[in-house]
Structures are given as structure tokens and as C-alpha cells.
Amino acid sequence: MTSDTTGPAPELSGRIRGGPAELLHDEVLAPQFGFESRHLLRHYVAIEKTLAAEYVRMDLITAEEAHRIAALLDAVGSDTLSAQPGANMSDIAFALERHVEAGLPAPVTHWHADRSRNDLQACAQVMYGRDQLARFADALLELGSVVHELAQKTCDLPMPGYTHFQAAQIITPGFHLAALSEHLLHTHARLLNAYDGIDTCPLGAGAMAGQELPWDRDRMARLLGFSRPQPHALTAVASRRWSAELTAELSLLGTALSRFTTDLLTWGGSEYGFIELPDELSGISSAMPQKKNYPVLERIRGRTAHLTAFHFDVLLGQRNTPFCNLVEVSKEAGTHLLNAFDSAHGTVRLLTEVLRRLTFRADRMRQVCEREFLGGFSLANALCLTEGVPWRTAQVVAGKYVVLAATAGAAPAPGEPALLAEAAAGHGITLADPARLLAEAFDVDRGLERMVSAGSARPDAVRAVLRGQQETY
């Protein structure tokens, strides 16, 4: 798509005497023309055919003329049109118009009467955004299904849960993955809401204030697959909130996926060793032969940053822009919308494959659970609820016992009953059966079963959450 010699364009405008300059063509118009030819052309064609149907309804053109126009539009492809400054001002709407006019056996006088490019472009852009959103939603649902399936398989495997980077309580991979699944469902619900918000047709709004012919906007919206027309003409051509809203959702999702991927990176480190990926999803060190790296996780986490950057690109491109049809600003602001969706789609595809192929090392996770004093909270609860020790004092006694046991090199189970008795005695408390308290508190499997509240890490509670999620999926 090379620059054409500039020259007069009398057939397009009586206001200016020539087509766009070569620099403007090469730097702005030709790239935009190429993008729209590849990604928006079919939407422009659908819109033009809808307009032709409306002209027939209003008795402004005949059905035969509309069929001829539609046939010429159907023959258009990305290689059919070219950006020509002198012939079509390097504008795809004008190029389509010229293509149809050149193919008609006689002029159709009323075709394109009462028309503006403003609502035409706004409509094509929203249709494009709607398609991108639907494509991405399918990929997100696939990720959610894989996460949900893995959660079901792993909700009985004890693993340490962490707060402040410290081992805290016993959970399971299924419990953690059920949280990710919930977040994906939440994101999907927000995307559906965003889809509903952009499912309003701008066509028929005209340049900004409406149209002078009685266009049936409900019919046009229906023919183009929208649920309804945009009720306000100015909003139809001036608002570009849909691109900001869609990239905002991608940014929020990217932030969440970054957090969950950070957990996977941590669990895959040699100090943890909780997960394993197959060799084809792994990497090596060029210098240290003992290492098995997971660069795919690093790539996923790194890619999520782009999603926030693309959102800010949309926002910064639109800020301080008057609420009117400054469509060229909007085109610049939306330059990376496709990149945003492609990046999100690729990120989700990579994470889907990782979780489809990932395995959890049950032995390693249990080993860490048995090594850490993860029953400290349960011990404090037992001291309070079965021994009658005031809650805050019970916390102090349990904490002091952990210090004494760790200093003595005692394992959490079976523990050292004498040290617990010593910690309690320091507060004037005599325990009836410290051995039973320790055996109960630091039993790894009991650490899951004692969690009886809804939404807890107890395997049955996790399964209940997953059943509820399955209904949504």
C-alpha cells in the first residue's frame, strides 16, 4: 500500500483542493487503512448492506439497486481496496463508496444520502471490539475449566499455605485453585457485563446530532447483531468508553493471573519443589546442569504487565479529549487494542497448557507440612476451648511452646508434651493432657478436617465450592 501522487479530489470534497500529503498518507492514513482492511472491512460491508436495506424500506432506492450494491460489497476483500490519496483520500469508507460507484451500471442517486462516516466508523469499531471480546471469553472459559478440573483432583492433598511468605496453615492445591477458578468466573461475569454495555448500535446517530431521514435504528441494530441501538446520538459517536472498559478488565485479570503465577513460580523453586512440569514446558541453565527451570511461568507473569500498559495507553489517548467525534484521537488511543487482546489470549493459552500439564508432588508438600508448626492456631484454639485458657493467653502459651520446641529441635508431631506443660505453667496453668493437645493440633490430616466452616480448606467444603462453580461453567 504505497503512496499515490496527491492531487485534487473534487468528487469527494468541495472544501479542500487536494488529497492528503504524502507524509500524512505514509505515517497515518495508509497504516490505518491497512489495519481496517484486515480487521474491520467485513463490518463495514455488513453496515453498508444494512444501510442499503434501509434505503429500500424508505423507498429511496429500489430492491434491484440494493442487490447490485450488495453484490459489489460482497466482492470486496482486503486486497481489493487500496489507499489512494487522490482517489479516496486514503480512507476506507470513501474507498468502499468509490468501489461500489465504479461497479454500478448507473448512478444510484439517493445512496449515501443523509449519511456520515462518524456513526459508520463508531459502529464498525464496536463490532470489532465485540468480536475480540467474544473470542477472548472462549479462551478464558477453557482456562477456567482446566483450573476447575485440576482443583477437583487435588483437594485432598495437604500442602502448606503461606501468609507474609511464612508457612501458616494447611491447605490443598484444590483449595488454592478453587480460588483461582472463582476469580476467573468473576472476570467472565464482568466481561459479559461489558459485552452487554457495548451491545448497543451506534448506526443512525449520524455525525453527532442525529439524522434527517427516518432511519429505523432498532431494525439496523437487529440486522447487525446488536441487542439495541445506542439511545443517545452524541454518546454513539463520542464515547469510546468501551475500549477503556475492555482493557480495564484485561488489566484486572492480568494482575490476578500475575499473583497466581507468582505462587506457581514459588512452588516450582528448588526450596519448595511442590510442582513439576514436563520437560517440553521446562528450560535449562547453560552453566548449571542440575537446574530445571520453568521460564514459561516467567513469561506468563511478564506478559500480564502488558495488559495494564495497554489499558493506560487507551486512557491516556482519550484524556483531555472533548466529548465529540474526535475519531482520529480515538483511533490512536485504540492502536493497541488488538495487541491487548492478542496478549491476553496468548497469556491465557500458555497458562491453560501449564495447568493442564502440571503435577503436584504430594510427598514433598506433606513433608513440609510435617516439618512446620502449622497447628499453632489449632493448639491455641484447643487451649481456649477445651482447657479454659483465655484466648490471648492461649495464643501466648502456644507461641511460647513453638519457640521451646523449635529450640530443642523437636518435630511438630508428636511434639514434646513436657515443653507445652512448661509453657503453660509459666502462666499458672496446669494442663490435663498436653500430649493429646499436641497430637490433635499438629496432625496434618486433622489440620484439614477440623476446618468446618463453609468455604474452608476442608476437602468436602472445597468440593461444595467446586460444585457451585460447575453450575456456572
Query: Does pLDDT of 152 surpass 70?
Result: yes
Burial class (CB in 10 A: 0-12, 13-18, 19+), 319: exposed
- CATH domain 118-367 topology: Fumarase C; Chain A, domain 2 (1.20.200)
- Residue 232 neighbours by CB under 8 Å, 6+ apart: none
Q: How far apart are CA 89 and CA 95, in angstroms?
A: 8
Rg (CA), the chain: 32
pLDDT at 171: 98
Q: Return the domain boundaries, the chain.
A: 22-112, 118-367, 369-472
Share of the chain above pLDDT 90, in %: 82
Residue 283 has pLDDT above 70, yes or no: yes
Query: DSSP 3-state helix, strand, coil percentages of the chain (rounded to 5)?
Result: 65, 5, 30
Q: What is the distance between the alpha carbons of residues 223 and 209, in angstroms, rounded to a whole number? A: 23
Single-letter code of the amino acid located at 389: V
Q: How far is 397 from 439, CA to CA, in rounded Å?
A: 16
Specify the length of the chain in residues.
473
For residue range 39-71, what is the model confidence (pLDDT) as tens digits? 999 999 999 999 999 999 999 999 999 999 999
Among candidate residues 7, 42, 40, the one with its CA nearest the CA of residue 25: 7
The whole-number pLDDT of residue 6 equals: 44
According to the model, what pLDDT value does residue 240 have?
Answer: 86
- Mean pLDDT of the 250-267 span: 97
Query: Per residue in 206-257, pLDDT tens?
Result: 999 999 999 999 999 999 999 999 999 999 999 889 999 999 999 999 999 9
Number of H helices and E strands in the chain, helices first, is: 21, 8
The continuous run of DSSP H or E covering 231 comes out as: none
* Element containing residue 285 per DSSP (H, E): none
Rounded to whole angstroms, the Cα distance separating 396 from 320 reads 57
- Confidence bin at 11 (pLDDT 50/70/90): low
Q: Which three cell numbers stand for residue 266?
A: 514459588
For residue 78, what pLDDT band results from cuts at 50, 70 and 90? confident
Q: How far is CA 348 from CA 139, 314, 355, 401, in A?
A: 7, 21, 11, 46
Which residue type does 435 have? A
More confident residue, 295 or 124: 124
**Contact of 175 with 462, CB cutoff 8 Å:** yes
| Furthest CA-CA distance within the chain | 106
pLDDT tens for 99-147 read 999 999 999 999 999 999 999 999 999 999 999 999 999 999 999 999 9
In the predicted model, what is the mean pLDDT of the chain? 93
Q: Which pLDDT belongs to residue 10? A: 45
ω into residue 414 within 30 of 0, thus cis?
yes
- Residue range 320-336, pLDDT digits in tens: 788 887 777 778 878 88
C-alpha count within 13 angstroms, C-beta hemisphere, residue 224: 39
**C-alpha to C-alpha distance for 244 and 349, rounded to whole angstroms:** 23
Hunting for cell 468455604 — which residue is that?
455
Residue 473 has pLDDT above 50, yes or no: yes
pTM, 2 dp: 0.89
Q: Does the pLDDT at position 86 exceed 90?
A: no
Average pLDDT score over residue span 424-451: 95
Closest by alpha carbon to 258, among 191, 307, 186?
Answer: 307
Inform me whether the pLDDT recorded for 427 exceeds 70: yes
